[in-house]
Structure 1
Amino acid sequence: MVEVIPKQIKDVWDSWNIRGMVILSLSLQTILIFLSPSRKRTPNKFLIFLLWSSYLLADLSANFAVALIAKNQGKDPKPDDPPQDKKLLALWAPFLLLHLGGPDTITAFSLEDNALWNRHFLGLVFQALAGVYVVIQSLPNVLWVIILLLFIAGTSKYLERTIALYLASSDKYRGSMLQTSSSAFDYTEQPDNLDMDSIIASEMYMKEHRRQLKPPKLMIPNRKLTHLEILQYGFFFFNNFKSLMVNNIFSLELRDESMAFFRAPKLQDEEALRIMEAELDFIYEGLYTKGAVLHSWVGLVSRFISLGSLLSAFTIYHYRHNKIQEFHNADIVITYTLFLVGIALDVMSLYIFMVSDWTIAMLSTLKDDFERIPSRKDRILDWVLGLKRPKWKWQTCREEHKQEVLNTPFLLRRWTGSITMFNFITYSMNADTERIHNPRGGTFQLLWKTLLCPFSYVTSVHSEPLTKELWSFVFYELQEKSQILDSLENTTTKSSARKDWASSHTQIQIADHEMLLRYITDLDYDHSLLIWHIATELCYQEKDSAKEKCDNSEYHTNRKISKMLSDYMMYLLIMQPKLMSEVAGIGKIRFRDTLAEADRLFKKMRIENSRYVKFASGVILSVDTSIEPRDVKGNHSKSVLFEASSLAKELQRLERDFGQDKWKTLSKVWLEFLFHAASHCDATTRMELLSKGGEFINFVWLQMSHFGLGD
């Protein structure tokens, strides 16, 4: 009797474990399908953690549940069990295979999951075998028709996921981009002593020759684009520039088409931004969801088979008589739940599929005539996309100047729509961040601080909404750079333009100011960035000193742009080391030493308990830097605090003595920092950021690529 009771308890425990794991697996699928689309819209760490844990537990819970069902099938039935109850539990095994297929909105949590597509395929084989083993144990089974239909549905969905992972793997992308060479120039027929000038001349000839033989097929806009045309162009560039995702090159014809399109005088900067948004969204869908599979004939056939099999199985089960006599009531309820929730999730996936940008792009094609009257279908699609367009909102900054900022509703966003900022001086003083824009209003912020005051809540990292002025500044500067680069006479001249990390164009702009130029040409990227960042903040904290002859609006615009780019680049350097690994150098060591020197200075001046950034900036500027800081500290410290102070003083002297706008200079310099980082950032991390809300640098990198810029 002592031995029987524990066994009975164990049997009951195992039975409820099965039910619990099946419900858990279904719940995780529900979480993933509804919440996973949000990860491209926000970098919220709680959401990312929830999705990560759900993604991992989804497979584990399904596998564990199948193991429990298989174990349960090998046991003798209890006297009080309904006659066919174990047969019903065997029905749950293919349901779990259906869950392992995963929702359409997420196939990979990270890019590494795509690389392991073959492991998922092996998992499909073993999971199917485990399901077959469970069913064989349950034979003869009166539910075998339903089980067979569910096996078809589950295998179909699992196969969809495996194919999606395979298509998103980097090897597949590289393979799909390989093309035979179209060069008609045979180098083997040239003399051995062929010089570089001849090679350059032949390359230029072939380039011009290709342009003559293959004129650009992409129509250049001559008017404002419709919502549908913006999406179509984004889809066109996505399909033709896929190789950018794996750092492959693309043909000169494609590059010339892209350059001609984005240089078109009628193309507006906002339209270019929206095209980039659409293109990056297609990249995200291709890398992290079933989008590429579902929008192919294989995916359509698979989804028809899967949903049809599921509905057929439910119909047969629902109309089966004597269920109450054959099965436990709890198991009947769980089975109905599995069917109904599974069908509901499939219908929801179908709806998401039907209204997705990918579907809309495939239902329409780019027109070769802008004057043609759009069809009724195109007008309907354009209206639908109009509901999803980005929204802009006028906001008043702290300086009482109004700016248009991106304010798209959360569920309609294709990315986070903001720029994350980190400031050295604010961080060094443990001070509250002073926002440039305050979307929630001063009252809300005051209430928030009051509620969290007991916890001494201080944040060093915050986000600012993307401003239309900043994007316009970036876009037209890239457009100008592209035209300058294209006008250079030969490849040698082009390569010499990037001898240093900053372009010769920017160096020429400040060539008359040797004291400024040496902080660019003589320093490494990370060294220079930290100096210019601190100097920018020191100037920003000073009272505005716009000269009468300066355009007041332009002055304040350049001031905000410089501040935003300065803090953004500092955030990337310190908080995104993987992304900046190719340009970061010893940036973290310089940051640490500079932080230590700032701490010593604040303690010496007895302001360590102050959080007044403006006062601290004045203290740094008050230090005598007539002797070169590097001569004083030597190689014992990598601190750049007083080098930055010297640079800030030189910028102030530039404005005070020569009447030049220091913020115009600073904005140009910060664009160089941004452009250099965008063209040298780590490719894998760049793609990973798309699943964490995206980054502004992704847009800059993609726009540079379309302008034929970058390395």
Structure 2
Amino acid sequence: MSSIADILMKLWASWNIRGLIILSLLVQCFLVLFAPLRKQKGGKWVFMTSMWFAYFLADWVATFTIGLILRSERSFILVFWAPFLLLHLGGPDTITSFSLEDNEFWIRHLLGLVLQIASTAYVILHSPPHNKLLFPALLVLVAGIIKYAERSRAFYLASLEHYGDKGRASIYQREVEDSFQRGTRKELVAAYGIIKNLLVGPLLTPKYRISSRQVLDGKCPEQVLQMMEIELSLLYEALHTKLPVVHIKIGYIFRLISLSCIFGALLSFRLIPQHPKLRHVDIWITYGLLIGAITLDFISIGTLILSDFNLAYYCLRGSTNVKIVAWIHNRVINRRRWSKIIPQHNLITYCLNDYPDWLIKFADLLYLRTFLEAIKKKLCLSSQELNEQVWNFIFEQVKTMAVSAKTVEMGKEICLRRGNGILDNDEKFRDVIWSIKELDYTESLVTWHIATDFCFHDKDGNSSDNMDYREISKSLSDYMFYLLEMEPAAMATVSMDRKVVREATYDQIKGFINGQSCLDGKNVSRAIFALNPELDFVSPIGRKPVFLYARKLAHQLKELDKSNGFPWELMSKVWVELMCYAAVNCRANVHAQQPSRGGQLITIVWLLMNWFGLGTQFATGFHDVV
């Protein structure tokens, strides 16, 4: 046993720094290549877990290895390797922050920059005498300082305090207002500035509102969706990459200096006679670090050229006629910029997939009940891709809402509707308006969610004429319940404790399921729906269980149109209003978090509503009739 330990200790003593240096380079390669995919695959937990692990491992490995070099007997080659770790701490251009919260700690990263520069400089200053690798080490040190400074600057600019600087807000607004009419790519130009305004938070002028609505005139839903996707991409690049720092004149100059330093270090290392005691493996590791740094820089340059940030920048400055810009634009404008996934979560399905009683009791003993519930929720999730049918319906409903919003005041009044705007328009729907006006948002959403499930699985009344609306209602119902359960920050409109409402409803449904056998989601919905709608009892919180409200609502909906069974078109419109209400009342910084996680449909809807002048950031008191 001791011999094995001795072998491991010798292996660690010989390869600890070498192995960690190689690991640091490999992690940098992984981040450069795969970080841009966060916009598309952010909803997949395996990918996001790997990305999270690599992001934090990169800093830890580089910092830990510098510490080992400081404690070791410094040789020529270790002195040369130390600046590469500073270069790695600067991180790739494709990812600076993993989440918005990382940007808020820009002061800590600035302090880290000072400390790491000091540590690396200490290693170089205390290098062995007559060190022939001192000059290339200083060149790499300069490149490392530039890269780390770029990252610290990116954190600073992406923090909400500075991203939302009041002085810059008016500049952004003027840019957008002046650019709506520029060139054939005015949509890309407008998206460049409008996303800044939405996050900065100034009161937007009537001119801005009128111009943004005019941009959408004559555009099909697919073109508008592409505009929203570009905005998501610009938002991601501004908050989570180095593009805002690199994409300025001084940024280009420093990047050229950095790249020149690495080339100079490679040339110097190649020309300087090697020390006779230098091992071949160390030489190859050094070449790998130098060539790897140059390769990653070229990949970053390519990413910069092909970025939406770059395209918008040149379009904004009237450079759309430049052939290279037009060539790049035509090849990347149709790329996928978010996951286009609509997550689905269903309460009845969740109730059916329960753990055995013995496992729940065991988890309670170890205080792991919350952990088990989190796993169960993940296992019960499903997803579907946003299809043309669903998006077209949402677009047309938001457009209809916008047509009636002649003024800012009318637009803000429409934003307060959460289903009642649809139900108030027709006298025959007044009998079900209680489900909106007499319940708070959480109760109303859960009531309509369960009622939609009852109607969806009912044997009668699902005619072929209503199949499209039926699928849309089901999809939006499960998506909104997913947001309520899994993304509560996106549901800032919730006024009651969602857990109380959900748990009371869960207990009642479970009580019914436990008395049955061999039930799936469809049969449970049908069985509960078949019960007497007047059946009543008191819930643990002193109110009627929401699922009884849902059964009553489902029966009323069925009675509205007996020839077709259920008014699915009406239900689809109510779900769009419920989603619009949540989208426009959600905090802007919550929407800003979504692009790095694959994007959310509710954020797309938020952007669409603001383009149509249905946001809460428009100045009132003006006669801006359109």
Tell me the TM-score normalized by structure 2.
0.87
1:621-641 CA deviation, whole Å, 9 max, x = no partner? 1211225x4x65484356211
Q: Describe the SS at the equivalent of 1:156.
A: helix
5+ unaligned residues in a row in structure 2: which ranges? 355-375, 617-626
The residue number in structure 2 matching 1:272 is 224
Residue 556 of structure 1 aligns to which amino acid in structure 2?
M
C-alpha RMSD of matched pairs (Å): 3.1
The residue number in structure 2 matching 1:448 is none
- Structure 2 CA distance for partners of 1:642 and 1:102, relative to 1, 3 Å: same
- Structure 2 CA distance for partners of 1:300 and 1:366, relative to 1, 3 Å: closer
1:383 is aligned to 2:294 = no
Residue 383 of structure 2 aligns to which amino acid in structure 1?
S
The residue number in structure 2 matching 1:424 is 347
| C-alpha displacement of 1:504 | 5.6
Residue 643 of structure 1 aligns to which amino acid in structure 2?
Y
The residue number in structure 2 matching 1:191 is none
Would you say the 8 A contact 1:511–1:517 is kept in 2? no
1:578-608 CA deviation, whole Å, 9 max, x = no partner? 222442632222111111111111223x22x
C-alpha distance in 2 between matches for 1:506 and 1:180: 37
C-alpha distance in 2 between matches for 1:218 and 1:67: 51
The residue number in structure 2 matching 1:589 is 500
Q: Describe the SS at the equivalent of 1:419.
A: strand
C-alpha distance in 2 between matches for 1:93 and 1:366: 42
Q: Return the match for 2:454 from 516, 528, 538.
A: 538
Q: Return the match for 1:254 from 208, 211, 214.
A: 208
- Among the aligned pairs, what percent are the same residue? 33
5+ unaligned residues in a row in structure 1: which ranges? 1-5, 75-85, 182-210, 222-227, 390-411, 432-455
C-alpha distance in 2 between matches for 1:258 and 1:168: 25
The residue number in structure 1 matching 2:102 is 113
C-alpha distance in 2 between matches for 1:147 and 1:378: 38
Question: Aligned runs of 1:87-106 on 2, under 5 Å?
Answer: 87-106=76-95
1:681 is aligned to 2:586 = yes
Would you say the 8 A contact 1:149–1:310 is kept in 2? yes
C-alpha distance in 2 between matches for 1:306 and 1:169: 25
| C-alpha displacement of 1:241 | 3.6
Structure ID, larger Rg: 1
C-alpha distance in 2 between matches for 1:135 and 1:381: 43
The residue number in structure 2 matching 1:650 is 556
Q: Describe the SS at the equivalent of 2:383.
A: strand
Question: Aligned runs of 1:149-228 on 2, under 5 Å?
Answer: 149-176=139-166, 217-218=178-179
C-alpha distance in 1 between matches for 2:176 and 2:163: 27
The answer to which structure has the higher helix fraction is: 2
Would you say the 8 A contact 1:501–1:525 is kept in 2? no
Q: Describe the SS at the equivalent of 1:349.
A: helix
- Structure 2 CA distance for partners of 1:618 and 1:175, relative to 1, 3 Å: same
1:326-379 CA deviation, whole Å, 9 max, x = no partner? 4122221211111121211112112222222222333445879xxxx9675565
The residue number in structure 2 matching 1:203 is none
The residue number in structure 2 matching 1:562 is 473
Q: Describe the SS at the equivalent of 2:393.
A: helix
- Structure 2 CA distance for partners of 1:584 and 1:314, relative to 1, 3 Å: farther
Q: Describe the SS at the equivalent of 1:325.
A: coil
- Structure 2 CA distance for partners of 1:123 and 1:594, relative to 1, 3 Å: same
The residue number in structure 2 matching 1:706 is 611
C-alpha distance in 2 between matches for 1:634 and 1:502: 27
Would you say the 8 A contact 2:583–2:605 is kept in 1? yes
1:625-662 CA deviation, whole Å, 9 max, x = no partner? 225x4x654843562111111110111110117x6861
1:455-495 CA deviation, whole Å, 9 max, x = no partner? x99942111111112111111221221221115xx84x666
Would you say the 8 A contact 1:216–1:256 is kept in 2? no
Would you say the 8 A contact 2:176–2:194 is kept in 1? no
Q: Describe the SS at the equivalent of 1:250.
A: coil
1:247-272 CA deviation, whole Å, 9 max, x = no partner? 4433333222112222x1x2111111
C-alpha distance in 2 between matches for 1:518 and 1:147: 74
The residue number in structure 2 matching 1:362 is 313
Residue 522 of structure 1 aligns to which amino acid in structure 2?
E
Residue 380 of structure 1 aligns to which amino acid in structure 2?
W
1:18 is aligned to 2:17 = yes
Would you say the 8 A contact 2:342–2:386 is kept in 1? yes
| C-alpha displacement of 1:692 | 1.1
Q: Return the match for 1:697 from 591, 599, 602.
A: 602
| C-alpha displacement of 1:428 | 1.9
C-alpha distance in 1 between matches for 2:219 and 2:427: 33
C-alpha distance in 2 between matches for 1:468 and 1:132: 57
Would you say the 8 A contact 1:580–1:682 is kept in 2? no
C-alpha distance in 2 between matches for 1:162 and 1:458: 35
C-alpha distance in 2 between matches for 1:317 and 1:219: 53
- Structure 2 CA distance for partners of 1:11 and 1:558, relative to 1, 3 Å: closer
C-alpha distance in 2 between matches for 1:642 and 1:287: 45
1:491-545 CA deviation, whole Å, 9 max, x = no partner? 4x666556x6426632422443332111111110010011111111111112363
Would you say the 8 A contact 1:428–1:598 is kept in 2? yes
1:172-193 CA deviation, whole Å, 9 max, x = no partner? 1121555679xxxxxxxxxxxx
Question: Aligned runs of 1:304-315 on 2, under 5 Å?
Answer: 304-315=256-267
The residue number in structure 2 matching 1:397 is none
Would you say the 8 A contact 2:79–2:124 is kept in 1? yes
Larger mean Cα displacement after TM superposition, 416-425 or 6-15: 6-15
C-alpha distance in 2 between matches for 1:539 and 1:479: 27
- Structure 2 CA distance for partners of 1:675 and 1:162, relative to 1, 3 Å: same
The residue number in structure 2 matching 1:463 is 383
Residue 488 of structure 2 aligns to which amino acid in structure 1?
P
Would you say the 8 A contact 2:39–2:597 is kept in 1? yes
The residue number in structure 1 matching 2:240 is 288
Q: Describe the SS at the equivalent of 1:102.
A: coil
Question: Aligned runs of 1:383-532 on 2, under 5 Å?
Answer: 383-385=330-332, 389=334, 412-430=335-353, 459-486=379-406, 491=409, 501-502=417-418, 505-532=421-448
Q: Describe the SS at the equivalent of 1:138.
A: coil
Q: Return the match for 1:610 from 492, 501, 519.
A: 519
1:619 is aligned to 2:609 = no
Q: Describe the SS at the equivalent of 1:667.
A: helix
Q: Return the match for 1:340 from 280, 291, 295.
A: 291
- Structure 2 CA distance for partners of 1:14 and 1:682, relative to 1, 3 Å: farther
The residue number in structure 2 matching 1:28 is 27
| C-alpha displacement of 1:55 | 1.3
The residue number in structure 1 matching 2:360 is none
Would you say the 8 A contact 2:40–2:598 is kept in 1? yes
